[in-house]
Structure 1
Amino acid sequence: MEFTAIPGVGEKTASALADLDDAERALREGDVAALSQAPGLSAGRAAAIARAAVRHEHGADGEFLATDRARDVFENILALLRERTVTDYAARRLETFVPTGAPSRIEEVRTLVDRATSREVSAATIDALSAVEPLDTPPATRVRDRCLATTDAERYAEADDAFPELSVEVVDDARDLAELARSYATVIALDESFAGVDVEGDVRVRPDAFENPADIVPERPLAFFAANRDSLLAAARVHETAGMDPPCDLDALRDALSRLDDDGTPVGDDELDRLTTAVDDLDAAVSTAESVANDHLREVIRERDVTIEGTDFLSLVEQGARVDALLSRELADDFDRALEKARGHLVDSLSLEDESGLAERVFDDDPTFPLERNDEAVSRLRTELKATRDRRAARLKTELADDLDALREPAETLVRAALERDVELALARFADDFDCTLPEISDDVAGVAIEGGRSPLLDVAFEDVEPVDYTVAGVTLLSGVNSGGKTSTLDLLALVAILAHMGLPVPAESARVERVDELHYYAKSQGTLDAGAFEATLRDFAELARGTDSRLVLVDELESITEPGASAKIIAGILESLDGQSVTAVFVSHLAGEIRDAASVDIAVDGIEAVGLVDGELEVNRSPVTDHLARSTPELIVEKLATEDDAAFYGRLLEKF
């Protein structure tokens, strides 16, 4: 896919998209989360690019929503859809469901809707979705105990880019490798020429490093899975509660994640825990072992019957007198027992196993009091414990990284499928909440036909909305009383047309919609326009009259832009221009009669009829009546008064209508 061919995507954005692993898939599927991972792309910008990519892929680069009011209705539709999502991903993803006149796109979404409306919406799935988020790639963390080595400058640059976690060194020969091995715990040579070289230290020859990054930096997959643990576990729950077929063994995934700490280190290994605790507690254990031995010797000396009093003997010892000979001669057995206690405490408290031999050297066999540690032996024991711990940790990291790296692609699929299920469930909830059905949409349908349509955009509860039946084609004037529902009818027409061209179901018992390329919806002007604004409005309608045939035009009370007499003539002229084209246009007007009289062609007039007044409130048939000029509110009031009071006066007024 040529990224710059997408409208609105320049060279800079195309370069950012090229940095993604699979930008074409993300664009094709509207994966806003993946697109927003590109450098410099916000979620909003990613959604805009995804919308443009959808239009481009289906050959619909034009803008279906041609006016501000049309875009307002679309935004209201998106708001209703977003309200039924759980995840931010689904909310953004639904923004890519743009209306177009492209049959391939409409059919693509309708197929998704068919699948979505067959889904069961369960509370358990909704709850599980609340913790699902798009997978995140954590920033590279520096690993300081390992380095890469190569003799080739180009390979150096490649390695530096591929492994930002590691230092990369340029070497000339095996001697340089040996030098590096003295500074790093592990040296990974990238050149096959080093195979078979005998170098002291942990030097590994891996010319295949670029093909197996998890072997070289196991911290990378570990960090990825640690950072995304909650989302992965939640996605697994979504699959289970929704009865979805998972792309991997969920028990194996959970087991692997249970062996990983939040900071990306392996956990749950008893031997590693033992070694880690031993390193951490070594100094404290040695000090306690000293105390155990010395407390034993102190007690023995106090109670011992020797040539001098025990307390005097103890005083001499504590003043630093040499007692080696005395201990050897008089207290040899007791010293051995004290030494045994010290060594036993050290081994037991640290759970030492193979290291017990080194632990014994921490306390010398030579009789002394107080018993003191051998610092050199303690250092050797610490070094051995650390080395054993690090080897164990490295092995566990590698094993766990291998397990998790094999799950990387299925894990991405797992989360993506869960997020897409949120999209589907939002569509299902929308269709259910508003009693929607998929409309018929094709080039063979003329205009718009709605049966039992109810708009969810009204400021009343949806269940209280009166259903509307209306079929309209060609150029039509819609008349009716004030507050009779003319604007609501235009909104319903726009709503149904936009949803149908999005490929989504509409809130009606049934609907047929002509497939068009553009929707022009002009809202009612707020008061008479000044000369400049009036001129600009006329230019807009002149442009509209010169447009293509494939349009739906909805206009609400255009007469408010200027004086009523002039308005009727202007609107009549606009309708005459549109009548010569194959467009469906509905103009709401209180001047329907005057406009029809001023037009040089036959203009259809439909009406939303008020059937009477009850307690000062209009009773209205909300479904427009075809070929009927509706009576005005003043006419109804005069008619009512004529039947109640001064029939002669009100009768004369009624004759004027």
Structure 2
Amino acid sequence: MDLESIPGVGEKTARSLSALDDPERALRTGDVAAIASAPGISQGRAARIARGAIRHEHDDPGEFLATDRAREVYRSLLALLKDRTVTDYASQRLETLYPSARRSRIEEVQAFTEDALARDPDPDVLEALEGVEPLREPDDVRVRERCLATTDAERYAEAKEAIPELPVEVVEDAQGLAELARGYATVIALDESFAGITVEGDVRVEPDALGNPAEVVPERSLAFFARNRDRIRAAIEVHRVAALDSDYDLAALEGGLSRLAADGTVAGDEELDRLTAAADDVDAAVGTAETVANDHLREAIREQDVTIEGSDLLSLVERGAGVDSLLSRELADEHAAAVEAAREHVSDALALEPGEAELARRIFTDEPTFPVKRDEDAVARLRTELTTARERRASRLKRELAADLADQREAARQLVRDALELDVELAVARFADEFACTMPTVVDDDVGFAIEGGRSPLLEEPVEAIDPVDYEVAGVALLSGVNSGGKTSTLDLVASVVVLAHMGLPVPAEDARLQRFDDLHYHAKTQGTLDAGAFESTVREFADLAQSGEGSLVLVDELESITEPGASAKIIAGILEALEDNGATAVFVSHLAGEIRETAGFDVTVDGIEAVGLVDGELEVNRSPVKDRLARSTPELIVEKLADESEQESESIRERSFYATLLEKFD
């Protein structure tokens, strides 16, 4: 796939998309999460790119929504769908669904929708979805206790690029390796010439290390799982609660994640925990041990009666002896006990193994001193020993865990991807359920549309409170009716059904059959009379439509408001004649239906939303348009009501005659 051929993708974006593992798959399937993982691409932009790729695949110009009002209807319907998502991903993913005139695209989404409608939006599944988010690659992995070493400058550059997580050092010989080993817990020599050398410390000769980064720097893989641990666990829970089919071993993946700490280290290994705690607590343990020894010795001195003969004292003074000599002579046993107590405290506090405990004993010497003091070199040796042992064990455990999780990476990706896509499907299922939707029949014949039991989802009322509407139009029709009778909401219903059907989604009706339209022109009611320039622009727009509107659906709400009523009737009649000749499907809502019918040069159909009457001052309306019926106006109904009341109340003959005369004017 030529990435730059996709609408909205330039050279820079194409380079970013090329960094993906499988950009073609991501674009073909509309995988917003995968596209958004490309450098510099946000999730919102990823949705636009995915939609552009879909349009490119289906050779779709993306011009189905031809007017502002048509686009408003689409955005409103899309908002209703997005309101029923749990994850941000699903909300953005729904942006890739759009009304199309291409049958291949409609059928593609219809197949997706059929699967979606089979889903059960169980509350437990929706709750589990709350923890699912797209996976992210960590970009901050740095390992300082391990390094790569080479004698070759080119190899150095190659290593820096292949494994940026590790420091890379240039050495000249084995002595250089030995020096590195004193500063790093592990040194990995990349040159085969180092094979067979013996160097103190953890030095490994691995000429093929750059080809196996997972072995050399397991932190790379572990960081991925650590960063995404909660998201993967949430996806596993979704699969279990929703009983999704999976070819992956969920228990094995979950077991691997349980051994991984949030910071990417290995969790649950008692020996590693012991070494980590010991290395971190060396100074604190030694400090406390000093206190223990000195408190012990101080108490012994306080309680001990020391008697020194004068000749002995003189002899000690002449020899320059101090308190150490006195301790050695008079308190040797107490000093030895104090030192032993200090050694035991260090060993017990750090839970040292025998070999480590032997190093710890050297921290406090047997030579009598007061106060008892540590040997800093011995402390440093113990700390180095513990740190090195910790890093070696951690490194081994990391390699083992990384190896166990290596084969689970794609499983994790697929599990999360499936969970996120489930949220998209459930949003469609919830929309269909809440608005009593059904799958429409979309045909290639010029049949217009036929809707049974439709309820507009754009009305701000509960679905059960909306009166169902039946309406069918093939060709051109005028829709008449009383004010507030539901003419505009009927147009909204038709527009909603057509838009959703061309998105490949279910429609809010008991049944719907419609032709596959090329585009939708929906003109909302104009507020006030247009000035000359705006009027001219409007007429030009209809002129273009009249010339190339075959296969279009045209919905117009009270176009007569653009100019004077007399002129409006003539203009609308002319537009309808052109649309009729061109084979378009059109519904024009108008209060001038009678005048337009008389002016039009063909037998234009006039449908009516009839008011049954006035009940307590409120209109009672049959919301389904009646075919070939010019609906009575609200004023006519009021005059009729007054005439009936005057007849029943036996008012003056003159008053009854006035109402009857007015009523005759409507005939």
Map 1:129-208 onto structure 2 (within 5 A).
129-149=129-149, 156-169=156-169, 181=181, 184-190=184-190, 201-208=201-208
Map 1:492-641 onto structure 2 (within 5 A).
492-641=493-642
| Equivalent position to 2:656, from 643, 647, 655 | 647
Q: Read off the aligned partner of 1:83 and give its amino acid letter.
A: D
Kindly tell me: are residues 102 and 153 of structure 1, through their superposed partners in 2, closer, same or farther at Cα, counting changes over 3 Å? farther
Q: Read off the aligned partner of 1:489 and give its amino acid letter.
A: T
Kindly tell me: are residues 57 and 365 of structure 1, through their superposed partners in 2, closer, same or farther at Cα, counting changes over 3 Å? same
Residues in 1 aligned to 2:643 and 2:303: alpha-carbon distance in whole angstroms: 129
Residues in 2 aligned to 1:152 and 1:327: alpha-carbon distance in whole angstroms: 61
Q: Read off the aligned partner of 2:659 and give its amino acid letter.
A: Y
Question: Deviation of residue 587 (structure 1)?
Answer: 1.0
Q: Secondary structure at the residue paired with 1:607?
A: strand
Query: Which residue does the alignment assign to 1:272?
Result: 272
Map 1:308-457 onto structure 2 (within 5 A).
308=308, 322-323=322-323, 326-353=326-353, 354-444=355-445, 446-457=447-458
Q: Read off the aligned partner of 1:384 and give its amino acid letter.
A: E
Q: Read off the aligned partner of 1:523 and give its amino acid letter.
A: A
**Kept in 2: contact 1:558–1:567 (CA 8 A):** yes
Which has the higher mean CA deviation after the structures are superposed, 427-436 or 161-170? 161-170
Kindly tell me: are residues 635 and 303 of structure 1, through their superposed partners in 2, closer, same or farther at Cα, counting changes over 3 Å? closer
Residues in 1 aligned to 2:571 and 2:193: alpha-carbon distance in whole angstroms: 87
State the superposition RMSD in angstroms: 2.6
Q: Read off the aligned partner of 1:532 and give its amino acid letter.
A: G
**Kept in 2: contact 1:453–1:467 (CA 8 A):** yes
Residues in 2 aligned to 1:586 and 1:155: alpha-carbon distance in whole angstroms: 74
Residues in 1 aligned to 2:294 and 2:193: alpha-carbon distance in whole angstroms: 59
Residues in 1 aligned to 2:283 and 2:44: alpha-carbon distance in whole angstroms: 56
Question: Deviation of residue 455 (structure 1)?
Answer: 1.0
Q: Read off the aligned partner of 1:268 and give its amino acid letter.
A: G
What whole-Å deviation, never above 9, does each CA across 1:398-425 have from its counterpart, x for those lacking one? 2222223332111111111111111111
Residues in 2 aligned to 1:580 and 1:150: alpha-carbon distance in whole angstroms: 82
Kindly tell me: are residues 196 and 303 of structure 1, through their superposed partners in 2, closer, same or farther at Cα, counting changes over 3 Å? closer
Q: Read off the aligned partner of 2:66 and give its amino acid letter.
A: A
Query: Which residue does the alignment assign to 2:58?
Result: 58
What whole-Å deviation, never above 9, does each CA across 1:163-206 have from its counterpart, x for those lacking one? 33233456677676566556544444445566556666544444
Provide the aligned length of Structure 1 versus Structure 2: 651
Residues in 1 aligned to 2:342 and 2:199: alpha-carbon distance in whole angstroms: 40
Question: Deviation of residue 656 (structure 1)?
Answer: 2.4
What whole-Å deviation, never above 9, does each CA across 1:215-273 have from its counterpart, x for those lacking one? 22222222222222221221121111111234533333333323323222223222122
Q: Secondary structure at the residue paired with 2:586?
A: strand
Query: Which residue does the alignment assign to 2:10?
Result: 10
Residues in 2 aligned to 1:356 and 1:173: alpha-carbon distance in whole angstroms: 35
**Kept in 1: contact 2:547–2:582 (CA 8 A):** no
Map 1:87-106 onto structure 2 (within 5 A).
87-106=87-106
Residues in 2 aligned to 1:107 and 1:192: alpha-carbon distance in whole angstroms: 60
Q: Read off the aligned partner of 2:439 and give its amino acid letter.
A: L
Residues in 2 aligned to 1:184 and 1:359: alpha-carbon distance in whole angstroms: 22
Q: Read off the aligned partner of 1:293 and give its amino acid letter.
A: A
Question: Deviation of residue 34 (structure 1)?
Answer: 2.1
Kindly tell me: are residues 393 and 463 of structure 1, through their superposed partners in 2, closer, same or farther at Cα, counting changes over 3 Å? same
Residues in 2 aligned to 1:441 and 1:573: alpha-carbon distance in whole angstroms: 30
Kindly tell me: are residues 2 and 197 of structure 1, through their superposed partners in 2, closer, same or farther at Cα, counting changes over 3 Å? farther
Query: Which residue does the alignment assign to 1:214?
Result: 214
Residues in 2 aligned to 1:295 and 1:153: alpha-carbon distance in whole angstroms: 59
Residues in 1 aligned to 2:91 and 2:6: alpha-carbon distance in whole angstroms: 23
Q: Read off the aligned partner of 1:606 and give its amino acid letter.
A: D
Query: Which residue does the alignment assign to 1:40?
Result: 40
Kindly tell me: are residues 613 and 263 of structure 1, through their superposed partners in 2, closer, same or farther at Cα, counting changes over 3 Å? same
Residues in 2 aligned to 1:301 and 1:169: alpha-carbon distance in whole angstroms: 56
Residues in 1 aligned to 2:211 and 2:545: alpha-carbon distance in whole angstroms: 59
Residues in 2 aligned to 1:115 and 1:574: alpha-carbon distance in whole angstroms: 43
**Kept in 2: contact 1:144–1:166 (CA 8 A):** yes
Residues in 1 aligned to 2:227 and 2:501: alpha-carbon distance in whole angstroms: 41
**Kept in 1: contact 2:93–2:424 (CA 8 A):** yes
Q: Read off the aligned partner of 2:12 and give its amino acid letter.
A: K
Residues in 2 aligned to 1:157 and 1:61: alpha-carbon distance in whole angstroms: 47
Kindly tell me: are residues 152 and 560 of structure 1, through their superposed partners in 2, closer, same or farther at Cα, counting changes over 3 Å? farther
Q: Read off the aligned partner of 2:109 and give its amino acid letter.
A: V
Q: Read off the aligned partner of 2:463 and give its amino acid letter.
A: F
| Uncovered stretches (5+) of structure 1, i.e. residues with no partner | none
Q: Percent identity?
A: 68
Query: Which residue does the alignment assign to 1:281?
Result: 281
Question: Deviation of residue 152 (structure 1)?
Answer: 6.3
Provide the TM-score with structure 1 as the length reference: 0.93
Q: Read off the aligned partner of 1:650 and give its amino acid letter.
A: Y
Kindly tell me: are residues 199 and 342 of structure 1, through their superposed partners in 2, closer, same or farther at Cα, counting changes over 3 Å? closer
Residues in 1 aligned to 2:361 and 2:338: alpha-carbon distance in whole angstroms: 13
Residues in 2 aligned to 1:525 and 1:35: alpha-carbon distance in whole angstroms: 41
What whole-Å deviation, never above 9, does each CA across 1:599-657 have from its counterpart, x for those lacking one? 22221111111121222222211111111121222222222222233332222222322
Kindly tell me: are residues 459 and 338 of structure 1, through their superposed partners in 2, closer, same or farther at Cα, counting changes over 3 Å? closer
Residues in 1 aligned to 2:296 and 2:182: alpha-carbon distance in whole angstroms: 44
Residues in 2 aligned to 1:440 and 1:548: alpha-carbon distance in whole angstroms: 22
Q: Secondary structure at the residue paired with 2:548?
A: coil
| Uncovered stretches (5+) of structure 2, i.e. residues with no partner | 647-654
Question: Deviation of residue 70 (structure 1)?
Answer: 0.6
Residues in 1 aligned to 2:499 and 2:161: alpha-carbon distance in whole angstroms: 47
Residues in 1 aligned to 2:199 and 2:356: alpha-carbon distance in whole angstroms: 27
